[in-house]
Structures are given as structure tokens and as C-alpha cells.
Structure 1
Amino acid sequence: MGDGVLSQEEINALLAGGVPDAPADTSGSGGGGELTSEEIDTIGEVANISMGSAATSLFALVNIKVEISTPVVTETNWDELASNYTDKCVVVRIGYTKGIDGSNVLVLKENDVKVITDLMMGGDGTNTDGEITELHLSAISEAMNQMMGASATSLSSMLGMMVDISPPNATLTDLAAVSGGEIDSFLENNFVRIAFKMEIGDLVDSEMMQLYPISLAKEMCGAVQNTMETDSKSTVDDAASPPPAAEAAPPPAPEAAPQASPPPAAPQMDPNMMQGQPMMAQPYYAPQPQINVQPAQFTPFGPNFSAQFAQENIDLILDVPLEVTVELGRTNKTIQDILDFAPGTIIELNKIAGEPIDVLVNGKYVAKGEVVVIEESFGVRITEIIKD
């Protein structure tokens, strides 16, 4: 009925009291696939919570705000996935070693990995020139280890079982040039694709993918369902069981005597009356102690209190050792330059020959000086004290 006119088949179906069969949905959103729409929703919620924890871990590594959006869950295959990527990507494979059986694969764009690596190395995220090296792969493996470790902790809470992962393995891969089975065996068949929009400050606005085998997705859905049923049953049982106080209520406590009146004294019994008679226990009331409460008194500080205190107590810290550093100069080098260092390499500093050198105490710039030689040892003659 796409043009607003009923076909003869639809008319016959309506007259018969039914509707014509709708075509099967094969869009990968739950209908016509191996996962139901409820399982798709469950996987999306699990991924949303676990990746929220992963984003927090990544923020701790790069020290820049990280946002990972609500995931989009679909079923797909390797050919369809690889057709969307024309450039090389970094593929990170992580296996589950405890709790659930299987593995998952993360796919990140090459430039995103360079930005994350540069931030982890203390850069500003703009040093993205050159090819992906082993240093980049090692750094992103560590980042994914921290992120997926946090994700596994969240999974443990949601699935009601201990979940642990294996060390990540990162490779630079041209998705269009390899088959899925070369990366992981579950990629030979249909699998679950979870797409996240990842933003890292104003440096990255990209997409990260997480791939699951369908069997693992179903296992997680079953575990989540079992956890929910267990929690629901526990709540019902707690509500149905009577409170412990209803089974055996304690005897009422005797009323306390008013504090204003003195406690009654225990009656004195005649020793002759105790002959052959059972002794009745008498209640004992401990006298209330008298507490003297007064407002606190403070001695006012004098106008020169802080100066007097510092002058009187400076001797207490005169023997505290401080680290004195003499800095000839500084320079900035790339990681590639540092890796090329060898005996005989000359490093040019930002100081001119003969220029005064800097003297730092515990990292604070305090003086300038010049290099001298004292009995075959180097020394520094202070030429200027730096005042704040």
C-alpha cells in the first residue's frame, strides 16, 4: 500500500479478517537476524555502561575530556564492514579469560591512535605526522588494556560474575585487504557491530567500533537476564519475610525516671526475712553524672603572630635536605629523534656558550651562576639571586 491504493491481495486479506504478510526485516536492527530486538537493546545498554567506565579510564591517561556516545548495535558481516573503510585502521583484539567465553575486537582509525599516543606521551595531540610505529601500537594497547579493564569491572557487576580479560594485541590492518578470519575466527560469520562516537577534546571527533561474536552477545544477554531475575526474587523474598522483631518481641523496657528527680533508692531488706525466702532482684538505676559544659576560650593572635612564629621555628627545618639542580639548558626532541640517539650524538641546547646557567632548588628557579673548576671537579659560582 505504498501509493495509498489497496491491492487485490490486501483487499482479500482484509475481507478474510487478516492482513497480508509483511516482508522480513533484514536491516540488522533485530528483525530477521540472529538477535531479537530485546537482545539488541540489552547489548546496547551493556555496551553503554561498560564504555562509560572505559571513557573515564581514557580520560585519566590523556588528561583531556573524553566523551563516548550512546552505542548503535547492528548485525553485519566482514565484507559489509570492510567496505566502509578505505584507509588502514588499528585493530585491537582482546579475549575474555574469566566469566564469559569469547573475545571482542576494537577498530580505531589511524589518526585517532596517533592523537591518543601523543597525548599519553605528554604532547598536545597535534604531533600526528609519520607512519604508525611499534611505539603507537604499544601505547594504544596499554590504553585499551586500561579501558577494557574498567569495562570488564562494569560487566562483572551487570552479569553477576567475575569477568577478566587477556592483554590486548594491536595491529595496523587494511580491512579491505584481509579476511575477517585472519583477525579472529568469529569474524568469518555474522557478528555484532557496536559503533560509538568518540570525542577527545577538540582533537578527535570520530567513530570507534567494537565487534562481538553473536554467541557471546547471547551469553551476556542471558547472564543479564539471570541477574535481573535473581535481584527481583531477592526483593520479593525480603518483602514477604516478616521482620525479626515480629517473631519474638522483647519485653518492654522499664520507663526511665525523669532526670529532674533523683533515682529511687533500692529498698533495704531485713536479713531475717531472707531466711528460706527467694531473693527478688531489684532494679538498679545508675546515677547520672553531672557534666560541666563551658564555652571554649581562645587566645587572640597578636598583629605580628605569623612573623614571630616563623622566626622562632625556622631553626626546626634548617637541616632539611633540598635538591639543588644546575641546568645548562633545555631542548625539545621528538620520540623519533630520541630513538636515534647513539654514542657521539650532539644535542644542541637553548643556551649560548658563556651565558649564565640556571640554579634550581627543588625545581624552583632561584639563582644564576657560572661554571668553575674546583680541584678537577665542576662547581657553580652564584652571580645573581632571583627574587620573586
Structure 2
Amino acid sequence: MTENKNDQMLLTDVERDVIGEVMNISMGSAATALSTILDKKVNITTPRIEICRVEEFEFSYLEPVVGVMIKYIEGISGSNMLILREADMKAILRQLLALGPDEEVEFDEISISAICEIMNQMMGSASSSLASFLGISVNISTPEVMDTTSQDSVRKMFAVQGEYLVSIKFDINVDGLIESEFISAMEPQLAKEIIGMSLGATEVTDVPEEIPEEQPKAEEAAVVEEPVRDTAPIAASSTVKEQKKQQVQAVPYTYQQLETEDKKKDAADSNLDLLLSVPIQLTVELGRTKKKIKEIADYTVGTIVELDRQAGDQVDIIANGKLIARGDVVVVDDYYSVRITEILKARDSVADIE
């Protein structure tokens, strides 16, 4: 599949670099998700971008293949098809289901459901990474495994959307399991939309993008420092109580009353500092589910447990067993992190300490 000059004009060199970098970041997050699922090191390399006419789209060298359709339903609009070798997907399923290397894997309902879940985890992580980069909320529909994925069927599907398509090729390596390639195909309009938003995001939000990297360090400081602002209501409450007490006792010297209040305030501040030094255990909850004992007893290595959340949903942030906030899962330096998007409990709870 070669590009002519007219095809190249659809995207400039700068736009190619932008979409390449965005897809590189997104697929890096997808690789991390797959690595977690398989408990193996996964690398997805820098993408190679090609633009071609739909009737010239070629992937016969990968056949037989499995096609997975992902539709963007929030933030950006359009669809993206992943085209993967059937042999690669079978190898992933064997690893996931703890099967031997020679055991045959049939693409039955259970296998297709497992593929959808794997893609859901991978592309959910990729969309979260894309959302973090663009500074918007990005959600996808549940991935669908295509019934037929011949070249003709894929070409007909994209022909409805336009004359051209953008083909992005990735090399994928799963340690000791896969050394292969897959394709991400999308219509040029979707690529253009991502490029336009990416250029806007890099111009306007270069500094805010670093916030997720700072938050893990700031969480501990937040526990210690932020509540100190609320010490004023405590001191004020103490002052009111002392004023009422002094009025009843009819103490004639105002300066003696102020001296007593200052000591009370110092004692309250000291006690508050002591309380604020107590460590708090933070937990991030992805989701929950209920199962019968019989179902749990049948669990084996590779069993998939569905939770009550969809990919891209916010996760709960829990402090000492109490829900305090929600946020989005992001990836920072190959580590899962959480960007807080909603605070559920006001910090004035510290004002109740007396």
C-alpha cells in the first residue's frame, strides 16, 4: 500500500507528527493495561502512519484477522477499527485462560466476550490517556468484534464514510508470547478532530498537563496543610465560649481575658497539629460486584470478574473507609494514578474537632 501526492495532502507533516504522538501516548496506556491483564511485559512501538484510498487499503499479510470496532461517544466523534492477527488473539486468550500453548482456542461466545473485555480494558485506558492529554472527557462504547473482517468487508464499511482512510500500524511485543503487528484504521475526519484538539491542548494547557504528575506528591501535603485553614472557626468557637463564661463571672479586666483566650487558642492549635500528623490510608476503588459462593468457588486463574462500572467511569477515592472524592484513572510514567475531578466531602469537617 503506497501513498501518492494527493493522499499525502490530506495531512501535513506536522499533522502526521501530532496524530502519531497522540496515538503513541494512547497505545502506551493500552499496553500498560494489557500488561496488567496478562502479567507480562508489553511494548507497543511508535506508530507508522499511512493515508490511502479506501479501495487500496491492504492488510492481507495479517490474515486471518480479528476486527474490533471502537466508537467514540463523548468528547470526540467517530469510529476506530483495530485489525489484529487471529493467531495473536488466540495466544492472548491462552495466556488469559491459563491454557497450554498447544491447546486450540475456538472463537465461541465466551472467547469473543473475553476479547471484547480485553479491548475494553485496553481502549478504556487509551481513551483516559487521550482525555488527559486533550483536557476533555472522552468515552467509548463497548468494543464490538466484527462478524466478518475480510478486506472487502472493511473497505465497504469505510467507503460509506468517505473516499480515504488513515491507517496507523503498530508493532506489538508481549514478552515470550507475541512478536507481531496490528493496524488501527480510522476515517480522516476523526484524525483531523484529534489533531485539531491536540494542537489546541498543547498551546493552552501545557502547564496544567503536569498536574497529574504533581498530585501524588501533593496528596500527603493536602492532608496536613489544607485543614489548617479551618482552625479559625475552632478558635472563634473557643472565643465565643470564653466570652460567655467571662460575662457570667463578670471578670473586670479585659486584658486578662485575652491572655486566657490566646493560651486556649495555642492549645487548640497544638492539639490540631497532633491530629493532622496521623496518617490516613487512601484507597482507590475501581468497582464492585456481588457473586454467589458457588460462583466464587468455581473461580480459576484467568476468570474474568465483571464490575459495576464501565471503562472510562470515574473511580472512588476512599479515606479510612469513607468515600471522599471521585476521579479519572491516568497513567504517569507507567504507573496508575488518579486525577481528582470531584470532592464529595467538604474540608470543614475539621471544624467539628474541639
Q: Tell me the TM-score normalised to structure 2 length.
A: 0.55
**Cα displacement string for residues 96-151 of structure 1 (whole angstroms, at most 9, x for unaligned residues):** 01000111000000101101111121235x24536533333221111001100001
- For the pair 1:204 / 2:174, whether they are aligned, the reply is no
Aligned to 2:284: none
CA distance in 1, matches of 2:50, 2:87: 25
- Decide whether the 8 Å contact of 1:100 with 1:163 is kept in 2: yes
Residue correspondence of structure 1 range 144-183 to structure 2 within 5 A: 144-171=119-146, 173-182=148-157
- Among 87, 90, 99, the alignment partner of 2:75 is 99
Report the Cα offset of residue 64 of structure 1.
1.7
**Cα displacement string for residues 17-74 of structure 1 (whole angstroms, at most 9, x for unaligned residues):** xxxxxxxxx8369983311111100001001111111011111211222111111111
- For the pair 1:35 / 2:6, whether they are aligned, the reply is no
Residue correspondence of structure 1 range 176-255 to structure 2 within 5 A: 176-182=151-157, 185-186=160-161, 188-231=162-205
Q: Secondary structure at the match of 2:60?
A: coil
Q: Secondary structure at the match of 2:107?
A: coil
Shift in CA distance, 52/83, structure 1 to aligned 2, threshold 3 Å: closer
Q: Secondary structure at the match of 2:82?
A: strand
CA distance in 2, matches of 1:67, 1:233: 28
CA distance in 2, matches of 1:81, 1:38: 23
Please list every run of 5 or more consecutive structure 1 residues that lacks an aligned counterpart in the other structure: 1-25, 236-278, 290-331, 333-388
- Decide whether the 8 Å contact of 2:8 with 2:51 is kept in 1: no
RCO comparison, higher one (Cα < 8 Å, 6+): 2
Report the Cα offset of residue 280 of structure 1.
10
Shift in CA distance, 60/280, structure 1 to aligned 2, threshold 3 Å: closer
Q: Secondary structure at the match of 2:76?
A: coil
- For the pair 1:46 / 2:18, whether they are aligned, the reply is no
CA distance in 1, matches of 2:85, 2:165: 20
Shift in CA distance, 224/30, structure 1 to aligned 2, threshold 3 Å: farther
**Cα displacement string for residues 252-294 of structure 1 (whole angstroms, at most 9, x for unaligned residues):** xxxxxxxxxxxxxxxxxxxxxxxxxxx999x9797x99xxxxx
Residue correspondence of structure 1 range 182-331 to structure 2 within 5 A: 182=157, 185-186=160-161, 188-231=162-205
The answer to which structure has the higher helix fraction is: 2
CA distance in 1, matches of 2:111, 2:159: 22
- For the pair 1:89 / 2:65, whether they are aligned, the reply is yes
- Decide whether the 8 Å contact of 1:82 with 1:175 is kept in 2: no
Structure 1 segments of 4+ aligned residues over 4 angstroms from their partners: 28-31, 232-235, 283-286
Q: Mark the structure with the bigger radius of gyration.
A: 1
Identity percentage over the alignment? 34
- AA aligned to 2:129 is S
The number of residue pairs the alignment matches comes to 223
Q: Tell me the TM-score normalised to structure 1 length.
A: 0.50
- AA aligned to 1:109 is R
CA distance in 1, matches of 2:21, 2:107: 33
The CA RMSD over aligned residues, in Å, is: 3.6
Report the Cα offset of residue 89 of structure 1.
0.9
Shift in CA distance, 28/172, structure 1 to aligned 2, threshold 3 Å: farther
Q: Secondary structure at the match of 1:39?
A: helix
Report the Cα offset of residue 156 of structure 1.
0.6
CA distance in 2, matches of 1:169, 1:98: 17
Residue correspondence of structure 1 range 96-135 to structure 2 within 5 A: 96-124=72-100, 126-127=101-102, 129=104, 131-135=106-110
CA distance in 2, matches of 1:229, 1:80: 36
CA distance in 2, matches of 1:222, 1:113: 33
